[in-house]
Structure 1
Amino acid sequence: MNKRPISTHQGRSTSSGSSASTNHEVFYSFGFIHGVSIGSKWGQQQNESTEHSTQTMTITYEDEGMQSRESCVSNEYSIQEGIVNNQEIQTDSEEEVIKRIKQECEQKVSTGSILSFLKNVMPQMEKELENAETVHYVSFMDYDVNWSVDIEEMSAAHELKLPERVLKKLKEPLSVTDLSWNCKGNMLGVSFGRLNTTGWCIEPGYICFYLINPDIYTDFNLDPKVTIENEESFVMKIAFHPDKHNIVAAGTYDGGIKVYKVHQDTDTLLCQTPIETYSHRDPVTSLQWVKNRYDDSFLIVSMSGDGKMFLWTINNKLEQPLTAISLVHPSKGTPLGGSSLSFLNLFGSSALSQKKVPTLDSSFILGTEVGNIYKLAISDSKMITTRKLATLKKGVVNFKEEKIEFSYDNGTGYVHTIDSNSFNKDLFMSCTNDGLVRLFNSFKDKDILTLQPSTDRCAGAKFSPFRPMVIGVANSNGHLYMYDLLESFTEPINDIDVTQDGKSLTCLEFNKHNSLLLATGDSSGRAKVFLISTRLSQMQPQEILKCHQLFSLSSIKNN
């Protein structure tokens, strides 16, 4: 260590007091001292350590080529043989990815662009749908999907009667007068009255509603969920609303129209027609809902043997009809007693026709009590909207006569049913007292095909809503006849003795929402639900095309 010199210094300091001063002398001296040295010990002491070793299995590698493509929300990759494409991996949460995709879609597609696109393509799409009725599209003609279990033979699944408390009050059994399925296809409405009554009626009628489980096909003696008693007279016709499953209209023997709302175990009377000069005075013979395409409302069409036809709306509580039509014989000028009517299918075999709801602006076929059959149309159907209620004067109803567009060959006796085909806009059939079922093209006065299942009176005939060439016929001998016109024009494919005691069948109704179900009613007050065989319920290859070829006007002229 170097020695540092320490110096000495001699100085003087002065301090002042009260009156005297004192001088101090301070001496400093300098010299040399020894430093301290501290040595490093780094590297002099060695750290202790140990050695270990591990052993693993030998890893083998194999090179293979592969080709795959996959895309998903969270990641995506693309690998081709010999080429590897590296792409970014998306690791965001699923919610964030979905949110970002929605935002990107909203930025790329606006509501305005969608509407513009639809306006451009809709005219062509509508044109193609109309052309589909005549053009032979064969792409899917042989494609037939069967989602249900095959049913080889028709069989009875349910037997429905009036509740015991009602049966005990009756002196004589009531007949089933009409049947109607609701828009879900899970409830059947059955009306009860008598078909051979003349003059005044002072007995009550009934409507029973039965829940039909589509998965249970062997539930006999099913009790009704709701029973409505009409104290004034029999109930002759019923019709469920096309869109509302618990709204039902009823037509009575005294000419009244009532609309009910059916709840789980009860019912509510929503509205009914008053007894006025513009009401029906005879039993209601036809009752159905039709759609007005100009304001998307549903109207009730009623008809009776008094030669009157009314259009009602529940928007005015049935206080008075929107339109009143007088049915008059074209040459004699006498009132025509209407017995049945059916609106023709306006849309043919297009997708719109599968809604199976008749429209007000289409022509309708009228059957009469004496066997006449006519084609008519409501001339001012475009003007009949719910807005018309604002211009109606209460209590003032003007009757109008509609021009008869076409007359068809008469049958013999009462026309029990007129029914239009759901797949062919020109095809309809009539069922009359002479036991004949006649199939017509609406532009030809003579029938194209005649079916005679027996020599007994026919009580009703209906087209299948799922197969254009299948027809069900209810007969007064108690038998149900099922025709498949793809198989035979003369012989029924099924002949079922429904009543088994000779009682007459009075009506039948296909379920428009379940292809396997069909209901019948008889004169002893029993209703039965049948399972339809798969062959009769499933559309067959090229069936619509064959129906058009058989019943189109061009094929008739060629023959």
Structure 2
Amino acid sequence: MAGVPPDFADVIPGDAKVDVPSTWRDVIIGNNTVSTETAPLKSQEVTTQTGSRDNNGTQTDDGGRPASPTKLKASGIADFVKKVEDMVAGELVKATEEAEVLEPFTRAADDEQEPATCVQYLSPFQPDDSAVVDLNATSTQINKHKLVVTCLSWSSTGQTIAASYGRYDIVGWCTFPGALCTWNLAREEINSTRPDQRIDTDTCLMSCAFHPTHPALIAGGTFNGELYVWDLSLEGDLQRGRSDVLLDVRHMEPILNITWQYNLTDAAKYGTKDKAYRLVTLGADGRVLTWLWHKLEAPIYGYQLLFPQPGIDRRFVWGGACMCFQREPRGASTASGGRGIGGEAAGTFLVGTEGGKIFKCYNDANDTNTKEFSRAVAAGERVELRTPVRDAGYAPHAGAVFGVDCSPFQRELFLTTSTDGSVRLYSSLRMQPLLHLEPTSSYLFAVQWSPFRPLVFAAAAADGCVYMYDLVRNHEVVRPVLTLDTNGLHKPVYTLAFNPRKPDLLATGDATGIQVWRLPSSLTAVRRGEETLLAKVAMTDDVQEMMRERRGH
């Protein structure tokens, strides 16, 4: 009989009882006991003792010793060199033959000199003969004091040109103002009438010179003998230093030349390239003074150009007109490696005088005598200035020597220019000139070697022209290969400066302003055998005769 389902409808929840049998007890779970045994872990503590640690350092000058070369297996290189040796030798022979074949064409090209191009004309003043007068021009833009460009200098980067403005026709104390103006020619837009920097001075500024490695540092010398240093990178006041005008040991007349001279002692002492250079100044008073540019209160050493006049035993002070230090030949290793262009480490320098004589001088300033000199100046003691002249036997000019420049490629060669209208090439080892040139009957005010072409130089004249020479040219007579008419008004050109970084740029300065010229490649590209020819020039007694013999061959 089937079960009857329960009916809970009539059951009271509190009295009802329901039994539900358990089922989990019927399930028997099997259990097994398992154990394992491991070896006990071994541990050990160890200590050690070390000495205290200390760091030490030292600094030494670079002795120039190369690092030990890594040993390489050169068998592959040797095989390669042996393989291409015949081919390279053949190409060298071919190049020599081509040069000989092209020599007549080179001579023909020399006879047809390419012209130079004036790429910039710069002046902070309105032209005197300007047909259009700018009524908005300020007083500083009107050249009412008739200032002329007295000196030019390129920055170490070759991008900025600086010009000092003053006058040469002043007698006595100067009351005219001067100025230093700079233009950065690397700018996209150049305002030729508004310099990037203009610094006005109380008296005429007669000389200026950029620092050889610091492109913003520049020194300037005034007509009254004051020496300034400016930093063009500063904001506001650009002046870094100024000489004391109340000292007894100072320039009493115009500072006509400023040279930055490299000094090993200062390089080791200060450890910076900027302070490794000293300033050496030449004054028309015949004094040659040495300064620390960052401490311009007083010179640290000085000389006076004392030398007897012809026929007189007594020594007189000769007025200086120009100065140049001998240079280390390019490529020569020096202890001061890495000097900027224009910095001179040698102690020998040449001075041109107002009386036409040329002095070979030597700067022997050292730690001992500079300290004693500085002590005496600080104490207000009387200081006797020695003469630096070592040799004065060079054949003199018939007029004031306003230009002198030493060759950057041959140490003993130097050029001079004079108001007698001549350019002379001397060897410091010979008393007579090796070459005598007269490009014009006018005064000559400046001369400079090309820093890239060993046998190219230029001379600035009072007739408004710059005469350029190239001694490589096979001409019957040495003559200018290019003449630059700078202003077309026959106004004197007082100064010129080759760009130290860009071979094709030359700057000239006159009464109208600054002209920047782009030179043709024939005056900038180095010729084959040029330095060898320069060495022969230094050894000959007569350059004209040597050139004639060379042309005959």
Quick check: 1:429 aligned with 2:415? yes
- Any residues of structure 2 matched to 1:398-547 within 5 Å, and which? 398-487=384-473, 488=475, 490-524=478-512, 526-547=513-534
* Residue 319 of structure 1, aligned match among 297, 307, 313: 297
Deviations 1:67-126 (A, max 9, x none): xxxxxxxxxxxxxxxxxxxxxxxxxxxxxxxxxxxxxxxxxxxx99x98963899xxxxx
Letter in 2 for 1:549: K
Amino acid at match of 1:365: L
Tell me the CA shift for residue 414 of structure 1: 1.1
Q: Are the equivalent residues in 1 in contact too, given 2:212–2:340 (CA < 8 A)?
A: no
* Cα distance in 2 between the residues matched to 1:419 and 1:289: 15
Partner SS state of residue 535, structure 2: helix
Q: Is 2:204 the counterpart of 1:242? A: no
Report 1:11-22 matches (<5 A). none
> SS of the residue aligned with 1:334?
strand
Counterpart-to-counterpart distance in 2, 1:174 and 1:386: 40
Q: Aligned equivalents of 1:451 and 1:333: distance in 2?
A: 32
Partner in structure 2 of residue 299 of structure 1? 278
Q: Once the two structures are superposed, what CA deviation does each residue of 1:518-551 show, in whole Å capped at 9, x if it has no partner? A: 1001123x11100011111121111111100112
CA positional deviation for 1:199:
1.3
CA distance in 1 between partners of 2:180 and 2:63 (Å): 47
Q: Which amino acid aligns with 2:283?
A: S
Equivalent residues of 2:327, 2:345 under 8 A apart: no
Q: CA deviation at 1:504?
A: 1.2
Once the two structures are TM-superposed, the CA of residue 263 in structure 1 deviates from its matched residue by 2.8
Displacement of 1:348: 5.8
Relative to structure 1, is the Cα distance of residues 390 and 436 closer, same or farther in structure 2, using a 3 angstrom cutoff? Answer: same
1:162 CA drift (Å): 1.2
Change (3 A) 1:516 1:335: same
Compared CA separation, residues 391 and 292, structure 1 to 2 (3 A): farther
Contact 1:226–1:266 (Cα < 8 Å) also in 2: no
Q: Secondary structure at the match of 1:227?
A: strand
Return the offset for 1:345.
1.6
Q: Deviations over 1:441-476 (max 9, x none)?
A: 100000001121111111211100111100111111
- 1:159 partnered with 2:144: no
- 2:368 aligned with 1:367: no
Matched, 1:175 2:148: yes
Identify if the C-alpha distance between structure 1 residues 115 and 311 changes in structure 2 by more than 3 Å, giving closer, same or farther.
closer
- 1:391 shift after superposition: 9.4
Residue 379, structure 1, aligned to residue 361, structure 2: no
> 2:376 & 2:353 partners in 1: Cα distance?
33
Where in structure 2 are the equivalents of 1:62-461 lying within 5 Å?
Answer: 118=66, 152-163=114-125, 164-213=137-186, 221-231=192-202, 233-263=203-233, 268-275=238-245, 276-296=247-267, 297-315=276-294, 317-330=295-308, 331-347=313-329, 350=332, 355-381=340-366, 393-396=378-381, 397-461=383-447
Question: Against the structure 1 CA distance between its residues 311 and 117, is the aligned structure 2 distance closer, same or farther, given a 3 Å change threshold?
Answer: closer
Structure 2: give runs of 5+ residues left out of the alignment.
1-58, 70-91, 100-112, 126-136, 268-275, 547-553
Aligned partner of residue 469 in structure 2, secondary structure: strand
Aligned residues: 419
Q: 2: CA distance between counterparts of 1:394 and 1:382?
A: 18
Structure whose alpha-carbon radius of gyration is higher: 1
Q: What is the CA deviation profile of residues 154-205 of structure 1, one whole-angstrom value per residue up to 9, with x for unaligned ones?
A: 1001001015534555434211111001111110111111111111211210
Q: Check the 8 A contact 1:324/1:399 in 2, yes or no.
A: yes
Q: Determine if contact 1:291/1:357 at 8 Å carries over to the other structure.
A: no
Distance 1:215-1:325 versus aligned 2 partners, 3 A rule: same
TM-score, structure 1 length as denominator? Answer: 0.68
> How far is 1:395 from its partner?
4.0
Mapped to 1, the partners of 2:387 and 2:64 lie a distance apart of 44
The amino acid that maps onto 2:251 is: H
Residues 206 and 229, structure 1, Cα contact 8 Å, conserved in 2 = yes
Bigger mean CA offset, 182-191 vs 155-164:
155-164
The 1:515–1:174 alpha-carbon spacing in structure 2 relative to 1, beyond 3 Å, is: same
| Alpha carbons of structure 1 residues 383 and 494: separation in structure 2 relative to 1, 3 Å | farther
Larger fraction in strand: 1
CA distance, structure 2, for counterparts of residue 116 and residue 160 of structure 1: 44
Identity of matched residues, %: 25
Q: Distance in 2 between matches of 1:119 and 1:460?
A: 46
Q: Determine the C-alpha separation between the residues in 2 that align with 1:158 and 1:501.
A: 18
Q: CA deviation at 1:383?
A: 5.1
CA-atom RMSD in angstroms = 3.4
* Alignment match, 1:9: none
Cα 1:309–1:117 shift into 2, 3 Å? closer
Query: Which whole-Å CA distance do the structure 1 matches of 2:230 and 2:542 have between them?
Result: 46
Amino acid at match of 2:432: K
Letter in 1 for 2:426: F
Paired with 1:181 and 1:384, the residues of 2 have a C-alpha distance of 33
One-letter amino acid of the counterpart of residue 308, structure 1: R
Task: Give the superposition deviation at 1:357.
Answer: 3.4
User: How far apart, CA to CA, are the structure 2 residues paired with 1:250 and 1:116?
Assistant: 35
Partners of 2:452 and 2:142 in 1: CA distance: 40
- What is the letter of the counterpart of residue 117 of structure 2? S
Provide structure 1 residue ranges, at least 5 long, that are not aligned to the other structure: 1-110, 122-138, 145-150
Contact 2:327 2:346 in 1 (8 A): no
Residues in 2 aligned to 1:469 and 1:361: alpha-carbon distance in whole angstroms: 22
SS of alignment partner, residue 551 of structure 1:
helix
Check conservation: 1:426, 1:443, Cα contact below 8 A. yes
Asked if 2 retains the 8 angstrom alpha-carbon contact of 1:346 and 1:362, the reply is no
Corresponding residue of 1:91: none
CA distance in 1, matches of 2:516, 2:371: 37
CA drift of 1:382 comes to 6.7
2: CA distance, partners of 1:155 / 1:116: 44
Q: 1:548 to 1:115 in 2, by over 3 A?
A: closer
When residues 207 and 277 of structure 1 are mapped into structure 2, their CA distance, relative to the original with a 3 A threshold, is same
For 2:394, the aligned partner's letter is: Y
Q: Counterpart of 2:66 in structure 1: which amino acid?
A: L
